[in-house]
A and B are shown apart, each in its own frame.
Chain A
Amino acid sequence: MAEPKTFDWLNPFASVDLNFSEKADGIKGWAIAHRDAIQPIKRSLEGFIVSVEKGLQAVPPMVMLALIVLIAWQAAGRRVAILVGVCLLVLGFLSPAAWGLAMTTLAIVVASVIACAIIGLPLGVLAGKSDRFESVIRPVLDTMQTIPAFVYLVPVVMLVGIGNVSGVLVTIIFALPPLVRLTSLGIRGVNAGVVEAARAFGATPRQILFKVELPLATPTILAGLNQTIMLSLSMVVIASMIAVKGLGNEVLRAMGRLDAGKAIIGGLGIVMLAIVLDRITQGLGRSGRDRGHLPWWQTGPVGVVAKLFRRPD
């Protein structure tokens, strides 16, 4: 390759080569060099994911279906419960293997979302409290959301290897930002007058956070959690490229074989799972007022059972 010898002021970019890509490729070497250090963390994560999956797979499908419908009823009401039941039935009848694959995918999503919540909530609270932290973390979140997944797929695999743990890691990178953003937004959106009143009545900063700000920000935070769950689901196909099993893997294999039927089954399965998770988490975010200000133990299936056991008074 002949390098352009003359420096052109109108087009300096072509004549200067800072060799970034080669330097950045060092990440790969660094990742490989540090593989051993990451192994204990990897094993405990792997263990966690496997136990979640085993738990989900161990429950007979019809029992699991009933359980999820009950959860939906409790969280979001009877109509949503019916919709969720229908979606799960559709999912089950897609193909004999569909239910098992869906549970594997659900395990990955659950593990990712739990990790996102553990990382994202504190970050979001910090960002909501401090303008400086918000301005620092914002470009990081922008990067995480917009950088193509394939870019960080390779370093993550080099560092951790293929499999579920890498799948969860790349899912976290992609699905974390909305939770942090919306937690921050929720904290910032709390009525300043109410916070002032809490201060005026002698609350500590900690009490203000837990008794006022977090409860009032909950609907917004749950909207963030809902987005995080949806984004985790949308990552399952990409994650299947690094040997994550489940519905995503079906889609990926079907694409390789140009098997449209199988792809549709995998795709529809993901959609059904998405509807189920979306409706349940949206139901959680309803404000107390929408639920008629009833405490949760007086609504849904728990409320029905509680009523049976309560003595008439």
Chain B
Amino acid sequence: MTDREAVIRCEGIWKIFGDKSRQAMEAVRRDGLSKKDIREKFDCVVGVQDATFSVGRGEIFCIMGLSGSGKSTLIRHINRLIEPTSGAVYIEGQNVNAMNARDLRALRAERIGMVFQSMALMPHRTVRDNVVFSLEVRGVPDEVRRKVADHAIEAVDLTGWDRKYPDELSGGMQQRVGLARAIAADPTILLMDEPFSALDPLIRKQLQTTFMKLSAELHKTTVFITHDLDEAIRIGDRIAIMKDGVLVQIGTPEQIVTEPADDYVADFVAGISKLDLVTAARIMQPVAQYRKEHPSEPMADWPVAAPTDKLNRLVDLAVGTEHPILIKADGAEVGVVTKRALLRGIQGRDEASTSATEAA
């Protein structure tokens, strides 16, 4: 992901809550106080501790953590709803913390859309007026607003509801309005603060699908907060695991599940199904090695998959045949997945030979 241009860059964000947060921050810099020391000496609470990450253009970056881990605090630094005690946020190279009030409002209204767990719709405004709020505060004329609203409302499948009030809508529909409001001004960045956590599972899945469809179309740079690892894996290009204000690990879903950084992350991912995460590249053995063991097997009628195909796809292929699966990248044969390797892969154990290179 490093090759992509960083749209959001957070550098060394610290947030310490309390009356003496400044002094506490000084002390941390000077003596490297622990969180416990800060609480005892300064009566301050550390919300976010030295968070550094960047999000590339079009990337969906999930921040996963349990409640109280500081993830909602962290996301509010990106549009400066919360001031960091130390550190800075850069959006497309601009330092958000150095902006004056006017520029900051322009940034919020035009380049960042936000969706809240509590929906936070304005109950006295119709769906349409909620959706185009950010345009209204910028003084965009009415006819343009109307057009934008229709477009955004259509994008979340709520056409015909534009004159209703939020309390006339179900929870799922309300959050669709929240989503429409966030994308209405066509911002570069979407901030999603646990958008689907308050919804029941079926609606949640539905909205995740809507969101992913939209996200594929609109290609927004997204920071997505969740406490649900399944959701993070389903949605995120990369996932950051947050614990007690610290970003413990940042990586792709596959990395997080297969190479957890510590026991905390390992515990988290223990119950996660590998079927949709682990790719063929991770469990295959090189063609040459397979050839050595089975010199004269015809490969002509073997099923073929790509190195990026997930285990689920390989299982589908494997049930239709007795043969192993041939992995091809750009027309070249790169590896072989045997039934044995596939079954072990599903279990999460590494059965592929240790010399398996990451051909992809």
A residues in contact (CB < 8 Å) with B:
191, 193-194, 196-204, 207, 211-212, 215-216, 288-289, 293
Contact = CB atoms under 8 A, between A and B. Distances in A.
- Top 7 nearest A-B pairs (CB, nearest first) are A202-B109, A197-B120, A201-B134, A202-B108, A193-B120, A202-B105, A200-B114
A289 B109 contact: no
Interface stretch (B20-28, B121-129, B339-347): B121-129
Nearest to B135: A201
Interface of A is mostly: helix
B118 A193 contact: yes
B114 A202 contact: no
Nearest to B111: A202
A198 B165 contact: no
Interface string B65-87: 00000000000000101000000
A215 B133 CA distance: 15
A193 B137 CA distance: 18
Give the interface size bracket for B toward A.
Answer: 20 to 34
Contacts of B118: 193
Contacts of A197: 114, 116, 120-122
B133 A198 contact: yes
Given A193-B120, A197-B121, 8 more contacts: A197-B122, A198-B137, A199-B108, A200-B79, A201-B114, A288-B124, A289-B167, A293-B168
Contact of B81 (A200, A204, A211, A216): A200
Among A191, A201, A289, chain B packs the most CB atoms within 10 A around the CB of: A201
A271 to B, nearest CB: 35
A216 B109 contact: no
22 contacts: A197-B114, A197-B116, A197-B120, A197-B122, A198-B133, A198-B137, A200-B81, A200-B108, A201-B109, A202-B105, A202-B107, A202-B134, A202-B137, A202-B138, A203-B133, A204-B105, A204-B137, A211-B136, A215-B124, A216-B122, A216-B123, A216-B124
B238 interface: no
A196 B120 contact: yes
B122 A207 contact: no
Nearest to A194: B120
Interface string B328-359: 00000000000000000000000000000000
A216 B122 CA distance: 9
Given A201-B181, A207-B137, A293-B165, A194 B105 contact: no
A288 B108 contact: no
A196 B81 contact: yes
Contacts of A207: 137
